Amino acid sequence: MENGNGTAITISGLSKAFGSVKAVDGLNLEVPDGSICALLGPSGCGKTTTLRLVAGFERPDDGSVQIGDRVVTGPSTFIPPERRRIGMVFQDYALFPHYDVAGNVAYALGRNRSAERVSEILRLVGLEEIADRRPDQLSGGQQQRIALARALAPTPEVILLDEPFSNLDAALRAEVRAETRQILRAANVTAVFVTHDQEEALSLADTVAVMNDGLIEQVGTPEEVYGRPATRWVANFLGDAEVLPGTVSAGQVECELARLSLNPGFEGPCDIVIRPESIAIAAAASGSRGDEHEGIVVDREFYGHDQLVVVELPSGLRIRSRSAGFPAWHPGDRVRVWLDGPVNVMSPSQ
């Protein structure tokens, strides 16, 4: 059920302290109905506490949580977890080892157990043919899907997932992420998941809420938070970034690497945040564009599908360029460097 403005979850001024440590500090967030939202941040930033407050496993010190059109936590309201119509997928999946797959899913239905509903959910997650197996007979990816099926079985308004892929091998995570997204989409359910993994958040979520020290630093689409970070902290947390000093004047932004026609809304000193994929390189002898700089490759990290190349300019400034794996660059190569992608201009106070 959604409220009038199409918002599945509304969090307002949510705070929670454990002793002298403020885990969540006046947090505000709206999650659109039917979307997948990632709470992304480093360990200790408050993301799991936020999830537990939404679920009702913790009581906040202040603030409110609204799910659909119901306030489930507020100054004079506290609805227990079992009455919030929330499905929960725990980090360790919390499966019952003595139940088979069908039994684990059926348990979530309580007194309303229906073999038809169990079969329907198992078809949704692609496990109907192994309904009689026990959890210890399944792979990590299959166990994750059982946990998701159990959470979806009672038709909740919201699914909450706490670091759902952390127990999987790196090679399996991408596959299971894609499967999870397809299942959530097919179920047409709103989902919020906690992760410290930037790639996980950017690849799976529709909305990313980047958390730091109990607060949300920025909320936006994956493209927005990565390409237009609101603060230096977000820029650095979400991936490699070059931060070059520059100046804004009369709609022009100038730094050592380029002069750009941009109007960030202020004038004077600035910082220009550039992702390595926005910096292009080519062989020094391959022609001239007129807007490039010469440099020397001083380091390289080769990943096969791409490479991260460190180039030193004549001034001594070192910048990183991410490009396809070929042509391969090596230390000592003379190259031309130019800006070939979006940048973000920040004031010194951001």
CATH number at residue 310: 2.40.50.140
Question: Per the domain annotation, does 324 fall within a domain?
Answer: yes
Angstrom distance (rounded) from CA 48 to CA 161: 10
Please report, for the domain that includes residue 73, its CATH number.
Answer: 3.40.50.300
Question: Per the domain annotation, does 138 fall within a domain?
Answer: no
* Whole-number pLDDT of residue 288: 64
Amino acid at 28: N
Two tokens at 24?
């969540």
3-state DSSP assignment of residue 337: strand
Question: 206-239: per-residue pLDDT in tens?
Answer: 999 999 999 999 999 999 999 999 999 999 999 9
Of residues 190, 188, 230, 216, the one with CA closest to residue 37: 190
Question: Per the domain annotation, does 193 fall within a domain?
Answer: yes
Same domain, 191 and 338: no
Same domain, 70 and 168: yes
Angstrom distance (rounded) from CA 253 to CA 270: 8
Counting beta carbons within 10 angstroms of the beta carbon of residue 73, is it exposed (0 to 12), middle (13 to 18) or buried (19 or more)? buried
Same domain, 311 and 205: no
Peptide bond into 327 cis (omega under 30): yes
Same domain, 201 and 284: no
Same domain, 172 and 227: yes
Question: 28-50: per-residue pLDDT in tens?
Answer: 999 999 999 999 999 999 999 99
Number of independent structural domains in the chain: 3
* Whole-number pLDDT of residue 111: 81
Last residue of a domain, one of 180, 207, 235: 235
Same domain, 219 and 321: no
Counting beta carbons within 10 angstroms of the beta carbon of residue 109, is it exposed (0 to 12), middle (13 to 18) or buried (19 or more)? middle
Same domain, 180 and 290: no
Question: Per the domain annotation, does 80 fall within a domain?
Answer: yes
Side by side, which strands form the sheet with 343-346?
259-261, 252-255, 242-249, 268-274, 343-346
Residue with tokens 């941040």: 41
Question: Per the domain annotation, does 113 fall within a domain?
Answer: no
Amino acid at 312: E
Question: Per the domain annotation, does 292 fall within a domain?
Answer: yes
Q: One digit per residue, pLDDT tens: the chain, 350 residues?
A: 344 459 999 999 999 999 999 999 999 999 999 999 999 999 999 999 999 999 999 999 999 999 999 999 999 999 999 999 999 999 888 899 999 999 999 999 988 888 899 999 999 999 888 999 999 999 888 999 999 999 999 999 999 999 999 888 888 888 899 999 999 999 999 999 999 999 999 999 999 999 999 999 999 999 999 999 999 999 999 999 999 999 999 889 999 998 888 888 889 999 999 999 999 999 987 666 667 899 999 999 999 999 999 999 999 999 999 999 999 999 999 999 999 988 999 988 77
Same domain, 78 and 49: yes
Last residue of a domain, one of 186, 213, 235: 235
Question: Per the domain annotation, does 323 fall within a domain?
Answer: yes
Mean pLDDT for the chain overall: 92
Q: Global pTM?
A: 0.90
Last residue of a domain, one of 184, 215, 235: 235
Q: Residues in the chain, how many?
A: 350
Question: Per the domain annotation, does 93 fall within a domain?
Answer: no
* Whole-number pLDDT of residue 2: 43
Domain span at 318: 276-343
Same domain, 81 and 166: yes
Same domain, 219 and 267: no
Same domain, 262 and 191: no
Same domain, 73 and 179: yes
* Whole-number pLDDT of residue 251: 86
